Structure 1
Amino acid sequence: MSVHDQAAVAVLTQVALAADGAVLGLALAYVAVRSVLKFKTTSSALHKLKNAPSVTVSDLRSVLTDDDGDNQIVIVRGVVETKANVTGGWMNHNNVLHSHESDEKAVILQRTQTCIYNEWRGFFGWTSDFRSLFRRHWKEQESLSMRTVPFVLVDGVKWPPSDYLNVNLDGSKHPLPLTTVYHNLQPITASPYTFLQAFFGHEYPVGLLDEEKILPVGKEITAVGLVNLKKEIPEMMSCKDLPFFLSNMNKDQMVTEVDFRARVLWWSGVIFGSLATGVIGYAVVRNWNKWKDWRQRRQSQRQYIQDSEAAAAEAAEDVADGDVPEGQLCVICLLRQRRSAFVPCGHLVCCPRCALSVERETSPKCPVCRQAIRNSVRIYES
């Protein structure tokens, strides 16, 4: 880690520990609240997955004949097939995709081209140190193209299939169980312009990654989502409350994975919540004590100012009274009359102003006997 990074980390540490750790405690509390909210969402999804019936495509209609058949969450295991091939479309050859690399038949074809950039500080160190703490030095810029054709799920045991399930991808943001058929990383040859970019601390490309992923025809997958009858044909759409839509896992594997996520989120919330409570409690106690000390100091300062003003006024009166006998002069300033006696020694050797200054010392002692004193008492003549 460079000197600049160490300085940035030190600044961030000071910010996190500001107010005796109150900022750190609030950050931990935020993480704990987020974990608890995600736990509630995950627990709800786990409950829905456990209660969802798991059927084959041929048994799906029997489930949809129930009273709550429409928009019911169902888990269906089937084989991917193009819709035109099942329904007898008149242009079957245009309703299937072919991989550019492996020439496999597919219903989803995704091509990704990723340009990988490297970020270096350069000789002048102009790259932001704080930005490098929150972002990787390796960055990527991705261009994505995806093609799909209508497809269905069928039972793979009998052909031609008598029943099928339409799969509707509209509005789905769930990951798809795609298979990688092509993966190639090509380094980019450096140019003089690349050298200038690196010299001045700018990003420069270092590699180009090409990938092709497909959902092949004939692959067995699991679909979980909302099923309803559309023109007497069952159709499945994704449910945003569930973490899966199309997956290679079966129901038991899905339940196991979601249950593991819920446990991790629960314990994360408990651990971060406990840490946040401890840190915030410590910060509250520390700041409360600091506030009380500050208030006491303020009161002491105000009392000191009042006593100083009173002592100054009395000193002015003493000076204005005229000559003071030499034996009654303050042993410190030798200007004002002795009027304050020290406790507990009882020596009457100082004026009120000098007695007050002696009291304010770190280890106040009587100027005559050098005994430790607690305070002073004003002596009035009758």
Structure 2
Amino acid sequence: MSSREQAAAAILAQVALAADGAVLGLALAYIAVRSFLKFASTSSALRKIDDAPSVRVSDLRSLLSSSTDEAEPSDGKLVIVRGNVDMKSAVDGNWKSLRPNVLVSHESGEKGVVLQRTQTYIYNEWRGFFGWTSDLRAVFGRSWKEQESTSLRTVPFILVENGQWPQSDYVIINLVGSRHPLPLTTVYHQLQPINASPYTFLQALFGHEYPVGLLDEEKILPLGKDISAVGICSSNNGIPEIKSCKDLPYFLSDMTKDQMVVDLAFRAKILFWSGIVLGSVSVGILGYAVLRNWNRWKAWRQYRRFQRSSRDASDDVDAQVTADEEAGDVPDGELCVICLLRRRRSAFVPCGHLVCCQRCALSVERELTPKCPVCRQTIRNSVRIYGS
């Protein structure tokens, strides 16, 4: 670990342990609440997928017709359909079908209905002669530049059963509004070096990041791939069409229904026990922090009471001494040099000057830097002098 990472870790540790760990306890409590919320959503998705029927493409028409007969809502029914990917132009039945609407990979030449190309720049950083600039960037942010660019192209496609031809039974896949990950297959993966330029030398000289390589990837959803579609299926002009459901973590997946149920059950179990453990730890840390701060507040309150009682006691002593001293006349040579009202009764230590009454001596002792009013020497305390 570098010095910058150690300094950042030390700062984070100090912030987390502030107020006897209260900040850490609140952070863990927030994570525990998020875990329980994710557990609730995952359990709901698990119940929906477990109750959803797993049907073949050829059974969708009968399923939708039976749903209509039972007067179910017209917005569709949640189903799990497994089939093979094919282009929609194969079943259009018009002159456009003579020209297949399909995507072809630029590098491998494979055909598919979804084509995703990602270019990722790999950066190297040399501290250079002015490397302190990279330290500032490490504190306030890594880099504002876009290090990855992704392009996604899709064409309309369908699911058919076992690659049968002609495709009398099929379901249209509607990707509109879907943000679920797609079961893509990597067909091209290459790392290309980037040649240095004079501008690259200036970037390295001042400690800036500069690209050293470009990772180029192509992923497609190939024709004929066996996948599962999980979503709301409805009839569009007599043709089954399936859309994604935002409440479910799957839309198009390589897994079967049983595999999805097992995966969601495992996630739910991990989230539940994570929430229990993190919640228990946060309660313990917060309880410890509250107890420590409560004890500190009680000690501070007790100290304030002690100060107040000692001040009241000293005031009572001063009042009694003042009453005794004011009982008679005080010669001018024995008056306090501060108040000029009471008799000199307290001597300062270590200088030994007897120049103040007891009340003024106590007020001098309470100062931030107590000094003798005669010799200006720092004093530690005062001693009451009694005459015979």
Q: Distance in 2 between matches of 1:73 and 1:189?
A: 53
Partner in structure 1 of residue 87 of structure 2: 82
Partner of 1:307: 313
Partner of 2:258: 252
Give yes or no for contact 1:153–1:166 (8 Å, CA) kept in 2. Answer: yes
Which of 181, 184, 200 lines up with 1:194 in the alignment?
A: 200
TM-score if structure 2 supplies the norm length?
A: 0.79
Q: How big is the shift at 1:158? A: 2.8
Distance 2:53 2:258 in 1: 12
| 8 Å CA contact 2:122, 2:211 repeated in 1 | yes
Q: How many angstroms does 1:241 deviate by?
A: 0.7
1:122-133 equivalence runs, <5 A? 122-127=128-133, 132=138
In the alignment of these two chains, the number of paired residues is 335
Query: How has the CA–CA distance of structure 1 residues 248 and 30 changed in structure 2, closer, same or farther, with 3 Å as cutoff?
Result: same
| Amino acid paired to 2:296 | K
**Deviates most, 313-322 or 259-268:** 313-322
- 2:139 equivalent to 1:141: no
Judge conservation of contact 2:89–2:100 (CA < 8 Å) in 1. Answer: no
Q: Retained in 2: the 8 A contact 1:79–1:218?
A: yes
> Residue 278 in 1 paired to residue 267 in 2?
no
TM-aligned CA distance change 1:54 to 1:133, over 3 Å: farther
- 1:243 lines up with 2:245 in the alignment: no
Q: Is the 8 A contact 1:226 1:236 kept in 2?
A: yes
Question: What are the residue-to-residue correspondences of 1:86-165 with 2, within 5 Å?
Answer: 86-92=91-97, 93-127=99-133, 132=138, 141-156=147-162, 158-165=164-171
Distance (Å, rounded) in 1 between the aligned partners of 2:107 and 2:134? 42
The alignment partner of 1:279 has SS state of helix
Paired with 2:308 and 2:205, the residues of 1 have a C-alpha distance of 62
CA drift of 1:300 comes to: 1.6
Q: Percent identity among equivalent residues? A: 65
Residues 234, 32 of structure 1: alpha-carbon distance in 2 compared, 3 angstrom cutoff: same
Partner of 2:187: 181
Matched, 1:227 2:225: no
Structure 1 equivalent of residue 76 of structure 2: 71
SS at match of 2:8: helix
Letter of the 2:157 partner, please give it: F
Q: 2-side partners of 1:140 and 1:253: how far apart?
A: 37
Aligned partners of 1:314, 1:122: CA distance in 2, in Å? 77
1:54-99 Cα offsets, whole Å, 9 max, x none, are: 1110011222222337421100000111111122242232511112
Question: Is residue 90–residue 100 contact of structure 2 (8 Å, CA) maintained in 1?
Answer: no
CA–CA distance in structure 2, aligned partners of residues 135 and 274 of structure 1: 34
What do the CA deviations read for 1:324-371 (whole angstroms, capped 9, x no partner)? 9xxxxxxxxx9659xxxxxxxxxxxxx998xx99xxxxxxxxxxxxxx
Q: Is the 8 A contact 1:108 1:214 kept in 2?
A: yes
Unaligned runs of 5+ in 1: 325-333, 338-350, 358-382
> For the aligned residues, what is the CA RMSD?
2.9
Identify the residue that residue 375 of structure 2 maps to in structure 1: none
Q: Do residues 218 (structure 1) and 224 (structure 2) align?
A: yes
Measure the CA separation in 1 of the matches of 2:5 and 2:322: 62
Secondary structure of the corresponding residue to residue 284 of structure 1: helix
Secondary structure of the structure 1 residue equivalent to 2:58: coil
1:171 aligned counterpart, secondary structure: coil
Partners of 1:57 and 1:2 in 2: how far apart? 57
Q: Secondary structure at the match of 2:123?
A: strand
Is 1:19–2:19 an aligned residue pair? Answer: yes
Equivalent residues of 2:189, 2:218 under 8 A apart: yes
The residue aligned with 1:62 is: 62
* In structure 2, C-alpha distance between the alignment counterparts of 1:128 and 1:281, rounded to whole Å: 41
- Matched residue of 1:59: which SS? helix
What is the Cα deviation at residue 106 of structure 1? 1.1
Aligned partners of 1:300 and 1:24: how far apart in 2?
A: 34
Task: State the distance in 1 between where 2:218 and 2:178 align.
Answer: 20
Measure how far apart 1:26 and its partner are: 0.1
TM-score by length of 1: 0.80
In the TM superposition, 1:288-327 aligns within 5 A as 288-322=294-328
